[in-house]
Amino acid sequence: MFVLDTLIHRLKRGCETMPYPQGPAPALPDRHGGALRVDAARCADGCQACIPVCPTQAIARKPGGPVALDLGRCLFCAECIEACPTQAITQTGDHRMAVRRREDLLLGAPGQEELRLAVALDGKLRKLFGRSLRLRQVSAGGCNACEADTNVLGTIGWDLGRFGIQFVASPRHADGLLITGPVTKGMELALRKTWEAVPAPKLVIAVGACAISGGPFVDHAEANNGAEGIVPVDLFIPGCPPHPLTILDGLLRLLDRLENSDKAV
């Protein structure tokens, strides 16, 4: 009887998996400001109010030039936004932040006020991984926030498996690695060996500020500044931690699984 009640209750609840990307993306929570934007034209000459408040030195300014903001280092604490007297740095509310190249996370230069979003893999790799991508997740010294938001994608609401993307226990069964954490010295050898165990061709996805640049542990003696110095990275997903929607968008963008209307925005 208990089993029957459970089945009836489940049927009444209906489909709980979100329609995205066929439907609209779910709204970000109010406390999540999304990607940042740097308007060089509004950046006051000589102003450096935002630089000292950044906890990871993600903001710099050369004499006579605009502010340069590194979203790969950014913790999205919004301290720079509050400190800026001219509102040159603003939140966009946009969940899309994944890029293919590390330099595409640098904002502030002319023509680079917003992110250049990730393009899909080339045709050969897309044909190979587009319908079936197996990833080995490596927690390389992280705080477990990025790991938690990655795990959320396996729940019924997100259902990552419907896109053919799954996490596997062994790197020998994987098509690539999804790395979180700054890659501590104790995890460096483990990451290298895990990478070597993945059969070629293979991918690496760096999720979160720690995996991209070291995050709050940047230049720490017991941590590397992210994964890129250890293994080649194919996709960078910034955030501290990135919202699950940001991670999913990056994965689908890499596999060219998003609607054309979304990619054109």
Structural domains of the chain sorted by starting position, each given as residue range(s) with its CATH number in brackets: 123-254 (3.40.50.12280)
pTM of the model: 0.91
Q: Look up residue 123 and give its two tokens.
A: 């045709």
C-alpha distances in Å from residue 118, one per residue of 22, 64, 215, 250: 19, 30, 21, 7
Looking at residue 263, its pLDDT comes to 47
For the chain, report the end-to-end CA distance as a whole number of angstroms: 51
> Of the candidates 128, 118, 235, 122, which has an alpha carbon nearest to the alpha carbon of residue 177?
235
pLDDT tens, N- to C-terminus, the chain (265 residues) = 667 777 776 676 667 788 999 898 988 888 888 999 998 888 877 788 999 999 999 999 877 777 889 999 999 999 999 999 999 999 999 999 999 999 999 998 767 878 899 999 999 999 999 889 999 999 999 999 999 999 999 999 999 999 999 999 999 999 999 999 999 999 999 999 999 999 999 999 999 999 999 999 999 999 999 999 999 999 999 999 999 999 999 999 999 998 654 543 4
Q: For residue 181, what are the β-bridge partners?
A: none
Burial 52-88 (b: 16+ CB within 10 A, else e): eebebebbebeeeebbbbbbbbbbbeeebbebbeeeb
Looking at residue 67, its pLDDT comes to 84
Distance of CA 173 to the CA centre of its chain: 23
